[in-house]
Structure 1
Amino acid sequence: MSDLQWSLLVIGAVVVGAVYLYNWLQERSFHRRMQQAFGAARDDVLLKGGVESALADGRLEPQLVPSGPEQAADERAVRAGRPADTDTVEGSDSVLDYVAAIEADAALPDPVIGELMSKIASCGKPVHIEGFDLQGGIWEDVVRGRGGRYGKLRVSLQLVNRAGVVNPAQLSAFCDAVRGCADRGAAVAACPDALAALKNARELDAFCADVDVAVGVNLVAAEGASFPGARIRAAAEAAGFKLEPDGMFHYRDEQRQSLFTLDNHEPAPFLPESIKGLTTRGVTLLLDVPRVAKGAEVLDLMLKTAHELAGALDGRLVDDNRAALSEAGIGRIREQVRSIHARMDLRGIPAGSPRALRLFS
């Protein structure tokens, strides 16, 4: 090689090395800033004062007495920015998702997309990918084996659900996977500000913790008696419930949305193969407030159904202090449900909507 060729080779190597060093320093700075901003433990925001003080465990009783079973309502939901592109992607939600974009001059290879799908699936949160079909000119859900046709991708990570809030390491891994896909596919990646997304997530999480409550009504057997499982099943099915694989009876509407459930007051679940031999001292009807539209109407329907079951099983409706339900207590709970739904409407998360169902899952 000539001296000129050697000089060009050395210069090229230096430039490539400088680019890699710059990217490494930027990534290191990003991780350090996220750890500094969000390294501290999260403080849960609980309802306080008056009626709300009885709801700290996420459960509303008709006489405002906390009750079990405990609700798994630790950390909730999130608002995150989307890329500043005007393309609309069906399936992603700027309130719930962190949405990254990938854009290439040609179709991305299928192996590259497949690797991206595998990596983001391990982030620990629900994920979704939509691709822009260059041939059809439409956005669609990306399916393995159909690569070689998508020139753009929108990659969504749900930041919060009832399992908890996404942590900085998970979000960083998601962004790394997106950028890696872009690098291997000769494309450009755009990831929104992660720090802003995490901050907004914590703010919305605090709101959702306030409204994530359930209304429970207990049906108990007479002193010294118990309900046979076969009799519970017959009465529940006659009232409109159906036993489902999660070990509970569900009362569903015409759209198959679960309105409220009937669960064993004792630890054992209701299972088809064992319910005939089961006995229990009581059952609980439960209304998951943020997951049901028209909550006050559904509450009245649940109470009506509870009275029907009490008659069929010769049981009594009580709160967790085994005190009979009062109309005054029921009225207070009805107003509280209306208040929660009104707050959710103002926040843009109507109770029972697809957004609420994703968020409170």
Structure 2
Amino acid sequence: MSNLQIGLAIIGGLVLAAVVAYNAWITRQNAPRTARERPAPLPAADAADPVADVGERMVDPLAGRIDPVLDADLADTVPAALADALPDAAMPARREPAVALERRPGLDALIDVIAPITPEAEVSGDAVLAALPSTRRVGSKPFAVEGLSAVGEWEPPRPGQRYRQLQAGVQLANRAGALNDIEFSEFVVKTQAFADVLSAAVEFPDMRAEVARARELDAFAGDHDAQLGFTLRARRAAWSPGYVAQNAARQGFVAGALPGRMVLAGSQPGQAPVLSLTFDPQAAMADDPEQSALREVTLSLEVTHVPRSEQPFVQLRQAAQALAQAMDGVVTDDAGQPLSDDAMDRIGADLEALYDALDARDLSAGSPQARRLFS
């Protein structure tokens, strides 16, 4: 073999090696980023963190507790968490914190039709519970019965208690719309049947006035219902679910009950999550989630469910910007347009006006009444 042939063979080998190396580099760049690429430890737990006493080890993210819900009827609709969706190294052990259940908000004339019920004689809580209708809904609206306790407070009927006054109520409006004539009539029938079992007299308000009130409240709710979301999009390399979860955990997010959902807990027990972070649940449930490629995640704020005192928009903005910097992403609106600081400032000003309007109507964001109305 001549020197020329040897030289050409060497050059060819080098070119082939360079092509293989380049293809490997391109593959590496396009592969989803995984949690193992950033093994830096999570920050030390803050004493104010409601879940700070839980260790920072890495475990399955979908074994967490169910998100806080407003009433027991809604809780039945939340599916159980699916296990083994991500590898053990994908997420920290912290979970959406277990919280003491807040007392279910009582009937309120601001958002409920209320019918007073007067038994002929004092009745036991056990009798009241036995007489309750099988369902706690009238059409699409929640239905409830309360008794006046010995200390003068309205409460859900309890065994062992005795009541001389009762009241039944149905919600005037929710996201399904305003209470209509048919639903009001169903409320009357259901309440009258309950009262008859207890040999009690019931007084119903005027249907026309209550239906008109329901329509007005529904119109107000429709004009002031706000659910704000930012989309975080990958600039270059995609992300794995574990990589997203690891970076979100550094911003205080914990695993929710559903695949592809994390939440930022509020500062008070029983409070709705301040923010939620969601991504494709199919990616979270894949056989090998670390090979799933995510190119976007969504940060959401249920404005009417979170108290103004939590500064939720400030937290939303900070979380979005911090995640974008850490994950090499860009914050956009639903249409994919990047959100500038000026655009975010305008959104913040609009939200302040919304909070003012809700306060003026005694439906402050995060209040029990607002959470019931906007549900």
**What band does the TM-score fall into relative to the shorter chain?**
0.5 to 0.7
1:203 deviates by 0.8
CA displacement, residues 263-306 of structure 1 (integer Å, 9 cap, x when unaligned)? 12x47485699855643110011122222222893212211111
- In structure 2, which of residues 276, 285, 308 is the aligned counterpart of residue 261 of structure 1? 276
Which amino acid is 1:222 matched to? R
- In structure 1, which of residues 106, 115, 126 is the aligned counterpart of residue 131 of structure 2? 115
Q: Percent identity of the aligned residues?
A: 31
User: Take 2:111 and 2:286, find their aligned partners in 1: how far apart are those partners?
Assistant: 36
The 10-residue stretch of structure 1 (116-125 or 179-188) with the greater mean CA deviation from structure 2: 116-125
The answer to whether residue 144 in structure 2 is matched with residue 128 in structure 1 is yes
1:228 deviates by 0.3
CA displacement, residues 170-212 of structure 1 (integer Å, 9 cap, x when unaligned)? 2211211222233333221111112211111111111111111
> Contact 1:296–1:338 at 8 Å: present in 2 too?
no
1:317 deviates by 1.6
In structure 2, do the counterparts of structure 1 residues 252 and 113 end up closer, same or farther at CA, with 3 Å as the change threshold?
closer
Q: Which residue in 2 is equivalent to 1:329?
A: 343
> Contact 2:256–2:263 at 8 Å: present in 1 too?
yes
In structure 2, do the counterparts of structure 1 residues 132 and 144 end up closer, same or farther at CA, with 3 Å as the change threshold?
closer
> Contact 2:172–2:217 at 8 Å: present in 1 too?
no
In structure 2, do the counterparts of structure 1 residues 196 and 284 end up closer, same or farther at CA, with 3 Å as the change threshold?
same
TM-score normalised according to structure 2 size: 0.64
Q: Which residue in 2 is equivalent to 1:300?
A: 314
In structure 2, do the counterparts of structure 1 residues 270 and 356 end up closer, same or farther at CA, with 3 Å as the change threshold?
farther
Q: Which residue in 1 is equivalent to 2:197?
A: 184
The answer to whether residue 112 in structure 2 is matched with residue 97 in structure 1 is yes
Structure 2: which 5+ residue stretches go unaligned?
Answer: 1-104
1:97 deviates by 0.9
CA displacement, residues 65-89 of structure 1 (integer Å, 9 cap, x when unaligned)? xxxxxxxxxxxxxxxxxxxxxxxxx
In structure 2, do the counterparts of structure 1 residues 260 and 273 end up closer, same or farther at CA, with 3 Å as the change threshold?
farther
Q: Which residue in 1 is equivalent to 2:4?
A: none
The answer to whether residue 303 in structure 2 is matched with residue 289 in structure 1 is yes
Q: Which residue in 2 is equivalent to 1:29?
A: none
User: Take 1:113 and 1:253, find their aligned partners in 2: how far apart are those partners?
Assistant: 34
Larger Rg: 2
Query: How many pairs are equivalent?
Result: 267
Pairing of 1:13-24 with structure 2 (within 5 A) = none
Q: Which residue in 2 is equivalent to 1:106?
A: 121
Q: Which residue in 1 is equivalent to 2:246?
A: 234
SS of corresponding position for 2:185: helix
Moved runs in structure 1, 4+ residues, more than 6 A? 271-274
Q: Which residue in 1 is equivalent to 2:323?
A: 309
TM-score normalised according to structure 1 size: 0.66
> Contact 2:324–2:331 at 8 Å: present in 1 too?
yes
Q: Which residue in 2 is equivalent to 1:348?
A: 362
> Contact 1:245–1:271 at 8 Å: present in 2 too?
no
> Contact 2:286–2:292 at 8 Å: present in 1 too?
no
Which amino acid is 1:261 matched to? S
Which amino acid is 2:329 matched to? G
Which amino acid is 1:158 matched to? Q
> Contact 2:238–2:293 at 8 Å: present in 1 too?
yes
> Contact 1:116–1:177 at 8 Å: present in 2 too?
no
Structure 1: which 5+ residue stretches go unaligned?
Answer: 1-89
User: Take 1:237 and 1:140, find their aligned partners in 2: how far apart are those partners?
Assistant: 41
> What value does the CA root-mean-square deviation take over the aligned residues?
2.8
Which amino acid is 1:245 matched to? A
